[in-house]
Amino acid sequence: MFIDSHCHLDRLDLSPYNGNFDAMLDAAKARQVQQMLCVSIEMEQFRSMYDRIKPYGHIFASVGVHPLNTDGQVVSVEALVEAAQLPRVVAIGETGLDYYYQQDTVEVQQESFRNHLLASSQTGLPTIIHTRDAREDTLQIIRENGNADVGGVLHCFTESLEMAKAALDLNYMISFSGIVTFRNAAELRDVVKAIPMDRILIETDAPYLAPVPHRGKKNEPKYVVEVAQCVADLKGLRIEEVAEQTTANFQRLFSRVRTV
């Protein structure tokens, strides 16, 4: 069984399936992708996203605001904690810092990030973190505001091995997306080789970043199998072993999935 640990199902292009959401899920199931985590990036659209996945017992949700979607507004800890009471919510985020695209919103991003970490601590739900060109600040804010007993994941990881090791020390997992299959991602593949298998998750980040050989297409959960195969090749493992271990990792980190 494979789990897509990070996707945006409310943003998928369903035209290949004639607009049929269930047909897209069936295509994933045919490739043994049995569970998915649909990740929130805006509070304004959170409820509609949640209602979309609510009927499906194998799909879970997070609640949070992407650092590029803050729009000058900081979500409160109370709003995150309240939304996290919904039964299919298993994580806080995605949150974090992105200085690559927006350097003029640094203070707002940081305040939002802190609130997500505080909500994670209060709810006991792990934090899903997006980080780009903000290594030192990301780690420092986690150290100052995070709860090591709860932890989380650095998703769609593209940073250095040094940062990955620092995150592991803070009880964070590292999640790899289709980027790991790209020709220019040799350094990232070295990170995969160095990270213990019991701290790795796999994801699509669909509809973005489709893996090779589907690069250029709209991404979707069924392509998480290509990410798993790449990890297997780098680790010298069978793909079945990667599926089993990343499934166990997902269920250990997002422990609420076992009670929903």
CA of 177: how far to CAs of 40, 148, 192, in Å? 17, 24, 11
User: d(Cα 204, Cα 221) in Å, to the nearest integer?
Assistant: 6
Confidence of residue 208 (pLDDT cuts 50, 70, 90): very high
User: d(Cα 20, Cα 87) in Å, to the nearest integer?
Assistant: 25
CA of 245: how far to CAs of 95, 136, 176, 177, 250, in Å? 25, 30, 14, 16, 9
Domains of the chain: 2-258 (3.20.20.140)
Confidence of residue 128 (pLDDT cuts 50, 70, 90): very high
Average pLDDT, the chain: 97
Q: Note whether 50 and 61 are within 8 A (CB).
A: yes
Largest pairwise CA distance in the chain: 48
**pTM for this prediction:** 0.97
Q: Note whether 115 and 92 are within 8 A (CB).
A: no
Give phi and psi for 87, each to the nearest 5: -65, -25
Q: Which pLDDT belongs to residue 71?
A: 83
Angle at 54 between CA 49 and CA 55, to 5 degrees: 130
At 254 the three-state DSSP class reads: coil
Q: Which pLDDT belongs to residue 259?
A: 86
Strands 200-202 and 172-176 turn out to be parallel
Mean pLDDT of 227-254: 98
User: d(Cα 212, Cα 217) in Å, to the nearest integer?
Assistant: 10
